[in-house]
Amino acid sequence: GQNIDQPTEMTATEGAIVQINCTYQTSGFNGLFWYQQHAGEAPTFLSYNVLDGLEEKGRFSSFLSRSKGYSYLLLKELQMKDSASYLCAVTDSNYQLIWGAGTKLIIKP
Amino acid sequence: ETGVTQTPRHLVMGMTNKKSLKCEQHLGHNAMYWYKQSAKKPLELMFVYSLEERVENNSVPSRFSPECPNSSHLFLHLHTLQPEDSALYLCASSQEIGGGGNEQFFGPGTRLTVL
């Protein structure tokens, strides 16, 4: 079966750095997405990786290793507004998006 | 209005009621999606439409009935639901179906409670 694994919850301190991991086993691979979802709101797109390596976008970076079926989202200089759930999703060989259950990130002052 | 809108934002219904959820996208996209989001579970894809044609139906019970009259509007008709159908129902759209950078844009969702 197809599976996306990410930690259920993480806690970090304001101003620090946090890395949220995602591992996947899917039938084929056509790209990996990270979305942010604040409580009670819609998921919003953060990043997309299809080739190995690091994609940097301001305070957020996303890394992909296709051979390891692994990605991480790196958040720097954490702010209280970064408290949210972070969803990892993989496009499989049929171009269907397979979603992880999300990682709830709690930022403490 | 911009982006993806959904109405109503909250809905409480009895098991014998019939109601409809509405989604509208103002992005000129060709693909639209219905998802179910339950607490601590992955997003469950329910239906996918491309240019008003249904291309995906992930074994969804018949008490959920989608309708896509045009590429900007998507409905989810509900009847004789069960309490376990209580969840957040999200609508999304993307330029096309498929991989590449076809990121999905989500609406705010309808919080559905079935009594």
Encode pLDDT of A32-85 as tens digits: 999 999 998 899 999 999 999 999 999 999 999 999 999 999 999 999 999 999
Q: What angle do CA B65, B69, B103 make, to 5 degrees?
A: 85
B30 pLDDT band, cuts 50/70/90, is very high
pLDDT at B58: 72
pLDDT at res. B55: 81
For chain A, the first-to-last Cα distance in angstroms comes to 40
For residue B100, the chain A residues in CB contact (below 8 A) are 30-31, 50
Q: Cβ separation of B100 and A31 shorter than 8 Å?
A: yes
Query: For residue A54, what are its two tokens?
Result: 């690091």
Task: Give residue A96's region: left, alpha or beta (phi > 0; psi -120 to 50).
Answer: beta
Nearest CA of chain A to the CA of B79: how many Å?
A: 25
pLDDT value for B100: 63
Split at pLDDT 50, 70, 90, the class of A97 is confident
Evaluate if residue B99 carries a pLDDT over 70.
no
CB contact (8 A) between residue A42 and residue B90 = yes
Using the CB atoms, write b or e for B54-83: b if 16+ within 10 Å: eebeeebeeebebebeebbebbbebeebee
